[in-house]
Structure 1
Amino acid sequence: MTFDDELYRDITGFAHDSPAWVQHTAEVWTEAGILVFGALFVVAWWRSRRDSHHAFAIAALAPLATVVAYVCSELLKSGFTQDRPCRAVAAAAPSLAGCPPPGDWSFPSNHATIAGASAVALALVRRAVVWLTAPLALLMAFSRVFVGVHYPHDVAAGLLLGTVVAAAAVRLGRRPATRLAEAMRASSAPAVRWLTGPGPAAAPATAYAASHRRR
């Protein structure tokens, strides 16, 4: 038995002995975490509508970079074809979550990849949020081992993959995305202008109008 197998047994054993509310919270969070990151992407997009073209472009690229990381994770899964620990590790505690069917491979963890990519992409939009997104990503990755559906090395690889791919995707796409954002903000189509927002030029105009009303 490898060290990773032993660590998996220790974590799932701890999970099995945890209070019911802890188990339930982990089962909910391991899936709901993706929804939380999705909500943070929406918030980042909404706030960036009054930012510069460059800032808006990065906010728009953030979820796309996460999708690219997910696709890379799926491709790697197809190459490694590693079975899930909830089937492969002998004498481990029963998994809290249902063990995925055969053919749904384990390495790397898609959830951890999405979490790592989301955390980095959102931090590139606004650096201060890394204090929120990084702990959320780590908790989400750990929860995949806690509920028994991944090895520790699956989630470690997923976090690393998501981080690297998302950072690279944003870096490579930011210039064309900035040009696209500038063109879209110049569009005469109301729906397009609403989607991209007015940009930073609207802030002084709004302040001027407000001061005029006060007079």
Structure 2
Amino acid sequence: MSSRTLAVYDGSGIDGSLYTRVNGWAQSAPHWLDDVIKVWSALGLGLFAVFMLYAWWRARGADSAVMARVLASPVIVVVAYAVNSVLKGLVEEVRPCAQIPGSVSLETCPGTGDWSFPSNHSVIAFAAAISLWFVGRRLGVVATVFAALMAASRVWVGVHYPHDVAVGALVGILVALVLAPLAGRCGPLVDRMRSSALRPLLGPGAAPVVTGGYASYGARQR
């Protein structure tokens, strides 16, 4: 398939009818609800940075493998974003708000070259959320709920097809599932960093726990 053909790819045949239905709901919804979703869609990714900062603060009293996964979480997000950018360049799907007759976007419809598939917002949100699962289950659950809300909001505001956000979520999940466990193997590196001038930032790590007369190390916080 030629690059010109790809550049005008129309994804409406996959789930355009579902997009149109959701877009209709958005057009008939109360203005306050649209405004809330619009703000969340535009600014909500910042919440995942807050989650990561919270995870870092808690990990200061955890073992070094946990801290390694926390420090790797923003790197995992960047890698997922890079993978997604390659997919966008390969597919070059036109935005539904520029393709579906009668559709209305709650934010400015991105122009040609800012492709729709997969959704960057979904990739970032789910990569962050799944990375945080490897730090703490409760935090991972909360972050995943907000990641799903982020993905849904991108369809609601009219700038993505449902399959854009679904595949974006899948990309973020897969990248995090591969890289987060590998990051935990960098615990020895964090141990060395904790013995350096970085100790105030990384914390003392796990407290020693005496069991059966032998000293072992367990997380201070759960």
TM over 0.5: yes
TM-score, normalisation: structure 2: 0.85
* 2:204 paired with 1:198: yes
Aligned residues: percent identity? 41
Q: Give matches, 1:1-215, under 5 Å.
A: 2-92=13-103, 94-175=104-185, 177-187=186-196, 189=197, 192-201=198-207
Residue-by-residue CA offset, 1:104-157 (whole Å, 9 max, x unaligned): 000000000011111111111101223311211111000000000000000000
* Equivalent residues, number: 199
Aligned 8 A contact 1:82 1:105 in 2: yes
Q: Would you tell me which structure has more strand in proportion to its own residues?
A: 2
Give the 3-state SS of the residue equivalent to 1:112 in structure 2: helix
TM-score, normalisation: structure 1: 0.88
Give the 3-state SS of the residue equivalent to 1:2 in structure 2: helix
Deviation for aligned residue 1:167: 1.5
Aligned 8 A contact 2:134 2:181 in 1: no
Aligned 8 A contact 1:27 1:97 in 2: yes
Deviation for aligned residue 1:197: 1.1
Gaps of 5+ in 2: 1-11, 211-222
Q: Work out the CA distance in 2 between the residues paired with 1:203 and 1:36.
A: 35
Q: Which amino acid aligns with 2:192?
A: A
Q: Which runs of 4+ in 1 moved over 4 A?
A: none
Gaps of 5+ in 1: 205-215
Q: Which amino acid aligns with 2:87?
A: L
Q: Which amino acid aligns with 1:174?
A: G
84 and 203 in structure 1: CA distance in 2 versus 1, 3 angstrom threshold: farther
Aligned 8 A contact 1:50 1:202 in 2: no
Q: Would you tell me which structure has more helix in proportion to its own residues?
A: 1
Give the 3-state SS of the residue equivalent to 1:106 in structure 2: coil
